[in-house]
Structure 1
Amino acid sequence: MLSYCCKIEAAKIPISVQQTIIANYEDAAAKAKQQADHYKKEANTYSLLRLGVFALMIFVVYLTVQQDNFVVLGVGVIILLAAFTALVAQQGKYERLRDYYLDLERVNLNELDSINTQGNLYNNGQRYGNEKHFYTSDLDIFGNASLYNLINRTATSAGNDKLAAWLSAPADKSTILQRQDAVKEIAANNDWKVNTQTKLLFAGKEDIDQTKRLFIYLGTPLHLSGEKWLSIYIKIAPFLLLAMVLAGSFLSPVFILVAIAVAIANMLILFSKGSYILKAGAVAGKISDVLASYAVVFEAIESKQWQSKRCTELYEKLKVNQTSKNITELSKLINKLSYSLIMIVGFILNVFFLWALKQIILIENWKRNNHQNFEEAFDVIAEFEALISIAVPAINYPEWVYPTIADTEGYTLTAKNIAHPLIRGKRVDNDYDLQDAFKIDIITGSNMAGKSTFLRTIGINTVLALSGAPVCASAMEVSVITIVSYMRIKDSLNESTSTFKAELDRLQMLLAAVEHEHRVFFLIDEMLRGTNSMDKYLGSKAVIEQLIAKKGVGMVATHDLQIARLEDKYPDYVRNYYFDIQVKEGEMLFDYKLKHGECKTFNASLLLKQIGINVQPE
């Protein structure tokens, strides 16, 4: 990735505004930590109480054996099970609150890291990198120190994919405007944004295929044999067994033998369905907590009154299917299934209630009635994550603006005070104007004067604009265009490709794109570096003339002043711009400002002199 630290000037955001943003995140992180510590203590207290109830259960079993009185067992177990269940529920509640506030602290600290160092706990998108893509490699869209790394706040695999897709291709005008409205609404509700990020943070720790397995599980029936009569028997089994125990205690010991027979029969039924129970339990046990976590996220979306068109459409998809309610129900059923794994508690539940089998039948009934719409529901979460991500600049960098999306016959790309979003701290801004026209701009200039950075500035802000995000400028208007870049050309030993061959391949792709893709805007940085100077000039000139013939539009950065002469030949199509330097007392001074015309001052000799090489004129 590029290092941008040298290209700096006055920052535009007021210091007081940035300090307020940072102070808000610091305060939120501190408060979240206090809450996390509080709920950690509460959870520990209920853990000890639960251990005490478990000890009492063992004591009740001991008394039953000692006194040979099953009434003690029946009454004691019912009371203690109720107490144990209540304590488990309360401890779980406090643990969830503890984890929530720990994650809330992480989310707020992450925003501080993002502002101060461009650090990010979320994925940097490295896996989406593709050197053969039209522009993502050249414009630092994915990977370390990338645009994706700057804005990504997606935790789910689907959310990561959706954001990557948005940054990899322009949307149509209608979609861009809908996203802009959605981003404005989310940015105006930063508390909701941060809380929703917090509730989704767990997904970043999950296996990338977690949701795929979930969809498979929800869509695959268990086909439990004898399910109909088992459902009926499960309802009467606990009353039958309790009646036999009470009858044996008050009427005749014979009924105790019947109770034992019923208990054995219950266990035999469970053993006969053991393979079903193990199969369902192995899968369901892994997704209970995940489902509960997603249910909270769905509820956060459903409980908000949305105003923007796109957010409202996404909300309606969830509300019509009561998504949060249904997923909460499934999560509770799966969680209840796990009770059967708790030693003595599980044994008693299975003997009296055929607990594991009962929960599996209820889960299968749920799957039959509700699984159809859940893949679409999870896509709603992914889109909200992507919207949250492109809202990050609006919240953390309020000086950024929403671009106007032009609808002109020619190409429009105008900007005021546009700067590179990945330059930390102070940065140079420039103006650029291409208004409803077909032009090729030749940009000349010295080494390190700012040509390449300017091309990337235009490119990366256009990518932001056409994804629906704010841009790093005070004003911008842009047509829906397809960026194609020719910048970081390198050889490939694996593909036996020389630098020149790699350049030819990229040129071929560019020319084909100009001819076949929708409204291509190209960014070319120093064509044909892998050949001699004469072929470089003649080849570059030929390529530009072919682009003119195809009505291509874009920018060409070059050191070759002869290329600037194309403006004389095509005055209505070619424009010259340059970046220059000032040399004072042997020192090079860069202002990194774009100017009309062609460059007259070059610095290669000065740079060589600084490393001890004197260039003599011929």
Structure 2
Amino acid sequence: RALARELAIFDALVASVCARAEDLRRLAEAFARLDLYGALAEVAEKRGWTRPLIDASLDFEIIGGRHPVVEASLQSQGKAFAANDCDLGGADAGRIAVVTGPNMAGKSTYLRQNALIALLAQTGSYVPAQSARIGVIDRLFSRVGASDDLARGRSTFMVEMVETAAILNGASPRSLVILDEIGRGTATFDGLSIAWATIEHLHEENRSRAIFATHFHELTQLAKRLPRLVNLTMKVTDHAGDVVFLHEVIKGAADRSYGVHVAQLAGLPASVVARAHAILAELEAADRRAPVETLIDDLPLFARLAEPSAPKDSLRDALHEIDPDQMTPREALAAL
């Protein structure tokens, strides 16, 4: 009897709740919004975020931008985050920033922080920057990181190319694009060629605001021919033979990647590091004799290249000449 009474009370409660399900759903959604807005307001006040200006222009001007997650992590260790500016708009709307610099210097963080600032701004949040003026962005495209897709039989490079194709086929002048080291997953010249053509397509066809991080220093020479392309680099300094990363973005191009120095920091055996330095010196000497940069002056821009002509297909042409409605069964069999 007690169990029956308990079940009856429970059934009545369930029926009462179901009868007010829509009201409860709206109430839960309202509390969720309040929780979200309260959290954004709290973090904005605690971390000194500022109110962005969103308008209908194609501007993208960030002053003193910071990565919210990396900054919070550094603050917990008693360290300061190096804020950086980013300007992809103005009179040259649709500007592409090509960012070069060593590994561990902060290129990927710089890409991500500007994308996060744009995303936060368009959700109605304050942003981690001194000031931000952003023209409304219709889509945010990101090609960052390296991972394969074994379930679909895709290598890391194939995944990278599929995502890059989606960007080039979908980005518009109102889009924001961040690309991190396109072409690194294949042979050097193949990767350089793909990265080169990608930048030209973004500049001439998509005309999107974009940040393109790369170790292909040859790409910085494109600034001589593409008026909306600007070169940025991560500032580093040598101190007593060691590389010091300042995490500061400045105008200009890197002259080296310091990859061997980073490998040394990672703990590679001294013999391997010494051998790498020797090989690097030989390769750099060979490159100085025949620099890839000279190709920049020889090849036409992407927009001027003619579309490749389709190969002649005699079978297709023969099928086009056939009119099945005018043929007898015997003629059709003979044609087949």
Match of 1:457 among 98, 101, 113: 113
- In structure 1, how many angstroms separate the alpha carbons of the residues matched to 2:140 and 2:37? 22
Return 529-538 or 429-438, whichever deviates more: 429-438
- Quick check: which one's strand share is greater? 2
User: Counterpart of 1:593 in 2: which secondary structure?
Assistant: strand
Q: Deviations over 1:444-485 (max 9, x none)?
A: 111111111111111112221111111111111112212211
Q: Whose RCO is larger (CA < 8 A, sep 6+)?
A: 2
- Quick check: which one's helix share is greater? 1
User: Counterpart of 2:142 in 1: which secondary structure?
Assistant: strand
Matched, 1:499 2:148: no
- In structure 2, how many angstroms separate the alpha carbons of the residues matched to 1:498 and 1:284? 56
Residue in structure 2 matched with residue 416 of structure 1 by the alignment: 63
Give the gaps of 5 or more residues in structure 1: 1-270, 288-362
Structure 1 residues 281 and 590: alpha-carbon distance in aligned structure 2, compared to 1, 3 A threshold: same
Between Structure 1 and Structure 2, whose CA radius of gyration is higher?
1
Runs of 4+ in structure 1 deviating by more than 6 angstroms, as ranges, are none
Distance apart, 1:524 and its partner CA: 0.4
User: Counterpart of 1:428 in 2: which secondary structure?
Assistant: coil
Residue in structure 2 matched with residue 565 of structure 1 by the alignment: 221
Matched, 1:600 2:247: no
Distance apart, 1:608 and its partner CA: 3.9
Q: For residue 404 of structure 1, what is the amino acid of its counterpart?
A: L
**Which residues of 2 match residues 141-540 of structure 1 at below 5 A?**
279-283=7-11, 373-397=23-47, 399-408=48-57, 411-423=58-70, 424=73, 425=75, 426-436=80-90, 437-481=93-137, 482-515=139-172, 519-540=174-195
Q: Deviations over 1:248-272 (max 9, x none)?
A: xxxxxxxxxxxxxxxxxxxxxxx8x
User: Counterpart of 1:594 in 2: which secondary structure?
Assistant: strand
Q: For residue 432 of structure 1, what is the amino acid of its counterpart?
A: C
Residue in structure 1 matched with residue 198 of structure 2 by the alignment: 543
Distance apart, 1:381 and its partner CA: 2.0
Q: Deviations over 1:508-561 (max 9, x none)?
A: 22123205xx82100001002211000000111111111122212211000111
User: Counterpart of 1:591 in 2: which secondary structure?
Assistant: strand
Distance apart, 1:609 and its partner CA: 4.8
- In structure 1, how many angstroms separate the alpha carbons of the residues matched to 2:150 and 2:211? 30
Structure 1 residues 463 and 540: alpha-carbon distance in aligned structure 2, compared to 1, 3 A threshold: same
Q: Deviations over 1:293-346 (max 9, x none)?
A: xxxxxxxxxxxxxxxxxxxxxxxxxxxxxxxxxxxxxxxxxxxxxxxxxxxxxx
Distance apart, 1:406 and its partner CA: 2.4
Q: For residue 81 of structure 2, what is the amino acid of its counterpart?
A: R
Q: For residue 82 of structure 2, what is the amino acid of its counterpart?
A: V
Structure 1 residues 602 and 387: alpha-carbon distance in aligned structure 2, compared to 1, 3 A threshold: same
TM-score computed with the length of structure 1 as normaliser:
0.40
Q: For residue 59 of structure 2, what is the amino acid of its counterpart?
A: T
- In structure 1, how many angstroms separate the alpha carbons of the residues matched to 2:18 and 2:86? 57
Structure 1 residues 367 and 595: alpha-carbon distance in aligned structure 2, compared to 1, 3 A threshold: closer
- In structure 2, how many angstroms separate the alpha carbons of the residues matched to 1:284 and 1:401? 51
Q: In angstroms, what is the RMSD of aligned CA positions? A: 2.4
Structure 1 residues 371 and 503: alpha-carbon distance in aligned structure 2, compared to 1, 3 A threshold: closer
User: Counterpart of 2:69 in 1: which secondary structure?
Assistant: coil
**Count of equivalent residues:** 261
User: Counterpart of 1:422 in 2: which secondary structure?
Assistant: helix
